[in-house]
């Protein structure tokens, strides 16, 4: 059983959303679903809107469907998209 590195692009519902508060909610969901070493980068999109790029590690055996479903249910999250997954260990 190895370790996977995963990246999600998470779009907030508007540019007025406090991204730091949203990142804390995202981090809680990822950790609840056995994700570790969570980090965030903000990516400018347009007209003041920024996406959150969440990077974390988890077991490559982990089914990520439950995590994606939980992330989509967070208030002020418009959409999520997996942008990378690879074996890192």
Supply the CATH number for residue 37's domain.
Answer: 3.30.70.60
Q: What is the pLDDT of residues 21-55, one digit of tens each?
A: 999 999 999 999 999 999 999 999 999 999 999 99
Q: What's residue 41's pLDDT?
A: 98
Residue range of the domain that includes 29: 3-87
Helix (H, G, I), strand (E, B) or coil at 31: helix
Under a CB-based contact definition with an 8 Å cutoff, are residues 60 and 2 in contact? yes
Sole residue written with tokens 């890192």: 88
Q: How far is CA 2 from CA 6, 15, 65, in A?
A: 13, 37, 18
Under a CB-based contact definition with an 8 Å cutoff, are residues 29 and 74 in contact? yes
How many structural domains comprise the chain? 1
DSSP state of 26: H
Give residue 63's pLDDT band: very low, low, confident or very high (50, 70, 90): confident
């Amino acid at each position: 059983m190895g370790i996977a590195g995963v990246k999600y692009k998470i779009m907030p519902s508007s540019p007025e959303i406090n991204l730091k508060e949203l990142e804390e909610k995202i981090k809680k969901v990822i950790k609840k679903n056995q994700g570790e070493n969570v980090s965030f980068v903000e990516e400018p999109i347009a007209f003041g809107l920024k996406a959150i790029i969440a990077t974390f590690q988890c077991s490559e055996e982990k089914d990520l469907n439950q995590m994606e479903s939980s992330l989509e249910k967070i208030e002020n999250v418009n959409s999520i998209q997996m942008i990378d997954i690879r074996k890192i260990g």
